[in-house]
Amino acid sequence: MLDLRKPAGLFFLILGVLLAGFGAAGAAKAPLLEMNLNLYFGVFSILFGGVFLWLSRKA
Amino acid sequence: MTLHFLDYSILILYFGFVLGIGWFLRKSVSSSSDFLTSGHSLPLWITSLAFLAANMGALEMIGMCGSGAKYGMMTSHFYWVGAVPAMLFVGVFMMPFYYGSRARSVPEYLKLRFDEKTRGFNAITFAVMTIFSSGISMYALGILLQAIFGWSFTFSVLVSAGIVLAYTYLGGLSSAIYNEVLQFFLIVAGFSPLAILAVQKAGGWGGVSSKLKPVMTESWKHLGSPADNPMGVEVIGLVMGLGFVLSFGYWCTNYLVVQRAMAARNMTDARNTPIVGSFPKMFIPFIVIVPGIAAVAIASMNIGYALPLKNGGPDYDKVLFSLMEQFYPSGMLGVGLTALIASFMSGMAGNVTAFNTVWTYDIYQSYIRKDAPDSHYLWMGRMATVFGTGLSIGAAYMAQSFNNMMDFLQLIFGFVNAPLFATFLLGMFWKRATANGAFTGLVTGTGAAALTYGLTLAEGKGGWLGVVHTFPSSMAQNFWVAINAFVVCFLLTIIISLAGKAKPDAELAGLVYGVTPHQAETAVWWRRPAVLAVISGILCVALNFLFF
């Protein structure tokens, strides 16, 4: 059966690249936000997805 | 509010993955068992996260955040008094009988333990409940997307329901469970930043506490009298109604969640499914309730944020979204929105996959067509997925007459799950309980729930038979509906059972505690259900004290 870590890892990796790329181009604004949330979340998402993919390769 | 191209891209990316998982898993479906029960094939980490996610519908996200703003930290009782102890109980004490009996569903266990009529009653009431639950989830999403993005109610509902239908139709329970796990990660990732940012803006937890009345940040100190807290409940109603009856009734007997544990590979994993799931479950309040509390604190700071309003009062169901609007820029807004839609889809897929199994095995195979080939039941399972989704859409419109969705759902559980928990307690742990006792108790208990609701009034709800008592809140009313249903079912089952003849011990082996041979746990000590349950229990008690 399909190893869920592969699609889950790939999803968060792509999501992270999209957000980090968008964030790196400039901080998008929200009324009460004071940081580049897209960039930080994007990097976290890339790491999260990467760990999942790495775990699925090991198995 | 305008969505950026990136927000739509994230939404489409997610839909693509969800459908792709269903497409890949279609190959692993070759029998009705594969489609409806996953053929006991899934690993523990997947079943335990699915056990949580099936319950994390849109209602959980929107309703709990709204309840956080309305009732404060007392809302955490749904987790720390309700869900977690019940999850530990079902894993340690009840799962050996669910999994060990090899029943395919909760109603089928009732048939093995009692008789056909008890199974039939439970199967039909459960099928109705799953349709309502799914409909409420759909309604929540529909009004939200309509109000915020201007998407029509019908468009929102049909697109989301269509996607759930596609992947559950293709891959059955395995597909629903896989997607529930993906949804769980997305929900946690999508909402954790909101909780952190909202609390940080209010000056940390200390800042939140200093800006609000103590009743908003303390969970136990204001339960002496219903007048002392905004929930309108006292400690007995809360612990007995929510903690013991409603939560144990839900987590221990609701096939929607039990089905996830029954998909595990072996008995140890099946028992560990709710226990391992209890660890993340006890921390969910920090991402769903705390933002609601922080929202009230931020609203008091005069920095441009106010609680959303409806008819002159706060509109609690929109608090979550109002926070996203304030803290999430384009991009992250797409993640939050996708997480919200994912939470809706996981709640709906959970209901649909539980409905199709109960319909196919416990209603269709039992009463309509008994001896058909398995391929016919596989086909019927798929058809049930289609018409279950259709009925849910109809139920979404019925939910509109209730202004707080969580109260409505609790009410339904009071009617169905509360008496059922009494039936299971006696059925699993008292060999003297008889089929006639269980059936009479169950029917009368459900009747007692309806009668309590019909004779009492709270916030204008109930009282259609006359008003003998008025509750300070519909939450309190729901707790007492559940308590009455449980007590009536429990007592009547005992009385009728004592007047009848119990099944011989040999027929109850594997179904009832005391006549089932004890099987020694072979897993290493740190994987044993009892050990994990004790650790989880200690952590949960600590959280209760931390926010006492």
Residues of B in contact with A11 (CB under 8 A): 13-14, 17, 182
- Give the pLDDT mean for A41-53: 97
Cβ separation of B185 and A12 shorter than 8 Å? Answer: yes
Q: What is the ipTM of this complex?
A: 0.96
Residue B55: which of B77, B31, B83, B32 has the closest Cα? B83
- Give the pLDDT mean for B385-398: 88
Q: Could you tell me if A31 lies within 8 Å of chain B, comparing CB atoms?
A: yes
Amino acid, single-letter form, for residue B24: F
pLDDT value of position B407: 61
> What does pLDDT average to over chain B?
91
Residue B157: which of B406, B410, B397 has the closest Cα? B397
Nearest to A37 among B4, B326, B332 (CB): B332
pLDDT value of position B475: 81
Task: List, for residues B293-331, the tens digit of each pLDDT value.
Answer: 999 999 999 998 999 998 888 999 889 989 999 999 999
Q: State the nearest Cα–Cα gap between B181 and chain A, in angstroms.
A: 9
Residue B382 has pLDDT above 80, yes or no: yes
Nearest to A30 among B9, B185, B329 (CB): B329
Task: Give the Å distances, CA to CA, from B353 to B177, B234, B260, B342, B546.
Answer: 9, 37, 10, 16, 38
Q: Could you tell me if A23 lies within 8 Å of chain B, comparing CB atoms?
A: yes
Cα dihedral across residues B437, B443, B446, B448: positive or negative: negative
For residue B132, the Cα-to-chain-centroid distance in whole angstroms is 12
Q: Could you tell me if A18 lies within 8 Å of chain B, comparing CB atoms?
A: yes
Q: What is the 3-state secondary structure (H, E, C) of B407-473?
A: HHHHHHHHHHHHHHHHHHHHHHHCCCCCHHHHHHHHHHHHHHHHHHHHHEEECCEECECECCEECCC
Q: What are phi and psi of B459, to 5 degrees?
A: 50, 40
Could you tell me how many CB contacts below 8 A there are between chain A and chain B? 95
pLDDT value of position B33: 93
Task: List, for residues B274-301, the tens digit of each pLDDT value.
Answer: 999 999 999 999 999 999 999 999 999 9
Return d(Cα B219, Cα B217) in angstroms, integer.
Answer: 7
Residues of A in contact with B21 (CB under 8 A): 2, 4, 7
pLDDT band at B46 (very low <50, low <70, confident <90, very high): very high
Residues of B in contact with A4 (CB under 8 A): 21, 46, 178, 181-182
DSSP codes joined into one string, B143-203: HHHHHHH---HHHHHHHHHHHHHHHHHHHHHHHHHHHHHHHHHHHHHHHHHHHHHHHHHTT
Residue B528: which of B120, B92, B89, B228 has the closest Cα? B92
The pair of three-digit structure tokens given for residue B461, joined into one six-digit string = 């709800």
Residue B428 has pLDDT above 60, yes or no: yes
pLDDT band at B1 (very low <50, low <70, confident <90, very high): low
Residue B496: which of B447, B422, B438, B444 has the closest Cα? B438
pLDDT value of position B141: 78
Return d(Cα B318, Cα B303) in angstroms, integer.
Answer: 19
- Give the pLDDT mean for B192-220: 95
Cβ separation of A30 and B298 shorter than 8 Å? Answer: no
- Give the pLDDT mean for B423-436: 96
CB atoms within 10 A of CB B97: 21
CB atoms within 10 A of CB B157: 23
Q: How many domains are contained in chain A?
A: 1
Q: Could you tell me if B25 lies within 8 Å of chain A, comparing CB atoms?
A: yes
Q: State the nearest Cα–Cα gap between B205 and chain A, in angstroms.
A: 18
- List the domain boundaries for chain B: 37-546
Residues 211-250 (B) with a CB less than 8 A from some CB of A: none
Residue B290: which of B223, B222, B224, B193 has the closest Cα? B193
Q: How many residues does chain B have?
A: 548
Residue B402 has pLDDT above 70, yes or no: no
Residue A58 has pLDDT above 70, yes or no: no
**Which pairing describes strands B456-458 and B469-470: parallel, antiparallel, or unpaired?**
parallel
CB A14 within 8 A of CB B13: yes
Give chain B's largest Cα–Cα span.
71
Amino acid, single-letter form, for residue B260: R
Bridge partners of residue B418, in order along the sequence: none
Q: Could you tell me if B93 lies within 8 Å of chain A, comparing CB atoms?
A: no
Return d(Cα B510, Cα B522) in angstroms, integer.
Answer: 18
Q: State the nearest Cα–Cα gap between B143 and chain A, in angstroms.
A: 23
Domain extent, residue A45, equals 5-58
Homologous superfamily in CATH for domain B37-546 = Sodium/glucose cotransporter (1.20.1730.10)
Cβ separation of B328 and A33 shorter than 8 Å? Answer: yes
Q: State the nearest Cα–Cα gap between A4 and chain B, in angstroms.
A: 7
Return d(Cα A35, Cα B504) in angstroms, integer.
Answer: 69
Which of A19-23, B227-231, B342-346, B441-445 has the weakest average pLDDT? Answer: B342-346
Q: State the nearest Cα–Cα gap between B490 and chain A, in angstroms.
A: 43
